[in-house]
Amino acid sequence: MYADRFTDSMKKAIDETERRREIQKAYNEKHGITPTTIKKEIRDVIRATQVAEDNTTALEKVTQGRKLTKEDKAKLLVTLEKEMKEAAKALDFERAAELRDSILELKAEG
């Protein structure tokens, strides 16, 4: 924490953090847990940036500007919902959100 002066509320917050840290240490020792640093892969920043910058919606990419019949829309909705759920399961939330937006856009068209 950074401040010009040390206040009572800052002291309380720091004391509470220390109290919780001691409880966590005791728990870890009792259960033989050794805390380790989380190691995650670096996300594909370029891909995420390209998706964000792309102004073409996923629905426009799929339909390629053509009109869809009611049957085609129904089939497309089923396919998009399935892909959205698979993307969410795979933790590809950007893709899942893109698909969700396409589904909403398709439903709004009627």
Separation between Cα atoms, residue 27 and residue 44, nearest integer Å: 37
Higher pLDDT, 94 or 16: 16
pLDDT in tens, 42-95: 655 555 555 555 545 556 666 666 677 888 888 888 988 999 999 899 998 988
- pTM greater than 0.75: no
pLDDT at position 12 is 95
The domain spans of the chain are 1-39, 45-109
Q: Is 84 exposed, middle or buried (0-12, 13-18, 19+ CB in 10 A)?
A: buried
- CA distances 81 to 28, 30, 74, 101, Å, are 43, 46, 11, 11
Separation between Cα atoms, residue 22 and residue 1, nearest integer Å: 20
pLDDT at position 70 is 84
